[in-house]
Amino acid sequence: MSTEYTINKTMASYARDFRIPGTLIPGKVNKRYFQLLVNISCIRNDSMREALACVMISGMKRKDACELHGVSQSHFSIKYRDLQVISQTIVRMYQYIPNESEKL
């Protein structure tokens, strides 16, 4: 193995271990959570929603999901990133939501 390959593999492992809280992992997203994210996003195209669901819920490869649902990979990437940002923002906001004992 080359040194460069080893370094890149180590960096990838490090990145996986220290994800930003709220990061969506393809194939590991709860169906209900995905539906809620899509509802508060600006994603209105049903084909795009289905392609995103295939990747995030079912774990399908991006290229395959885009081909299956007829969406461009570049547009898919933009919407995928939008959902990542929304999910990460929700996690950061959570601490500011008062619990029942704090309500008046």
Q: Is residue 55 part of a domain?
A: yes
Q: Is residue 102 part of a domain?
A: no
Q: Is residue 27 part of a domain?
A: yes
**CATH code of 90's domain:** 1.10.10.2690
Instruction: Give the pLDDT confidence of 46-96 residue by residue, as tens digits.
Output: 999 999 999 999 999 999 999 999 999 999 999 999 999 999 999 999 889
Q: Is residue 14 part of a domain?
A: yes
Q: Are 22 and 90 in contact (CB under 8 A)?
A: yes
Q: Is residue 39 part of a domain?
A: yes
pTM over 0.75: yes
3-class secondary structure for the chain? CCHHHHHHHHHHHHHHHCCCCCCCCCCCCCHHHHHHHHHHCCCCCHHHHHHHHHHHCCCCCHHHHHHHHCCCHHHHHHHHHHHHHHHHHHHHHHCCCCCHHHCC
Q: Is residue 30 part of a domain?
A: yes
pLDDT average, residue stretch 26-43? 96
The range of the structural domain enclosing residue 90 comes to 3-95
Q: Is residue 46 part of a domain?
A: yes
Looking at the 3D structure of the chain, how many domains does it have? 1
15 pLDDT more than 90: no
Q: Is residue 104 part of a domain?
A: no
Within a 10 A sphere around the Cβ of 55, how many other Cβ atoms?
Answer: 21
